[in-house]
Structure 1
């Protein structure tokens, strides 16, 4: 999912959010590499009218391009699911520390269900990462990681303490944090 405007990130030098580099590599390319090294079979890049340069990147990076509406994450996700079907792993392009192991961990736990991979807000705070969206589950504050599986079964939430899933580059401070934590 790489069609967002990145308004919270600020200008980032005029660079589209998915193309903002972490240690010299665009966040979306870092995500693509993690997906390519996982058990995922095909990689699609869901772009929007807000991300024409990201579309060009995706076309040159061996990603199948899906044109989103640009009306938001849910609208773009629905457009993508209409094209690729279910089950499908979805991943935000703002997870520069994503690992193939985390991707396979999520896929292994889905078992045909829809799965939202969340991290404790406490972990995000300990790391210094922003936590713009959160909810309570079983007495814990959780934040969506941006990694999900959309299946045909039950909707479930799994919690990961993997710090690499807790850093979404949404704000300048998140970008600085990702720069410090990158391998």
Structure 2
């Protein structure tokens, strides 16, 4: 099972991030399109994200509500409710089905995996959270025992859209890579 985490307060952005549009498409829909090609996928909401709830209802996307107490508390609650799962944040719009497949293949259902990129793979304009020479990305596996890193290959996973500047960068990238990576038409030109 894949759970897309979309219940945060979005304090740095100042708006509900999952419903913000990148190249005409809500960010949550970018992530859901990739995840749902790999496994059963639901969206974890909270009282902090009423517009995201409306989007899920409108698009027919399965969702459930967490207590909304904080990231760690909500992930623990989800683990207790659903057992081990793959988690994705709703603000990594360039996650691909192959990224989900890679984590799914590596996950043994017990040991949690934190998705990372070697810092050398991070595009120079991005400023991700770095720990021990790795960029931490929003794609993980959540289990009951221990924790390890899992190296991913997609350099665009380093773009976690947290600020208006990140959103502008994602918009520029989306127009360049959407058709190449995802095969989606450019909504502005119809090509």
**Partner SS state of residue 118, structure 1:** strand
Tell me by how many angstroms 1:26 deviates. Answer: 0.8
Distance 1:172 1:23 in 2: 14
2:13 and 2:164 in contact (8 A); partners too: yes
Which consecutive unaligned segments of at least 5 residues does structure 2 have? Answer: 179-191
Match of 2:113 in 1: 115
Match of 1:37 in 2: 37
Which consecutive unaligned segments of at least 5 residues does structure 1 have? Answer: none
1:82 aligns with 2:80: yes
- TM-score, normalised to structure 2's length? 0.81
Tell me by how many angstroms 1:98 deviates. Answer: 0.9
Match of 2:103 in 1: 106
Write the mapping of 1:14-163 to structure 2, written as runs, cut at 5 A.
Answer: 16-38=16-38, 40=39, 42-86=40-84, 88-112=85-109, 113-124=111-122, 126=124, 128-131=125-128, 133-136=129-132, 141-163=133-155
Match of 2:168 in 1: 176
How many residues in Structure 1 have an aligned counterpart in Structure 2? 170
Deviates more, 1:18-27 or 1:117-126: 117-126
Tell me by how many angstroms 1:158 deviates. Answer: 1.4
- TM-score, normalised to structure 1's length? 0.84
CA RMSD of aligned residues (A): 1.8
Tell me by how many angstroms 1:153 deviates. Answer: 4.6
Deviates more, 1:43-52 or 1:62-71: 62-71
**Partner SS state of residue 33, structure 2:** helix
1:118 and 1:143 in contact (8 A); partners too: yes
Deviations 1:93-123 (A, max 9, x none): 0011111011101111123332111123454
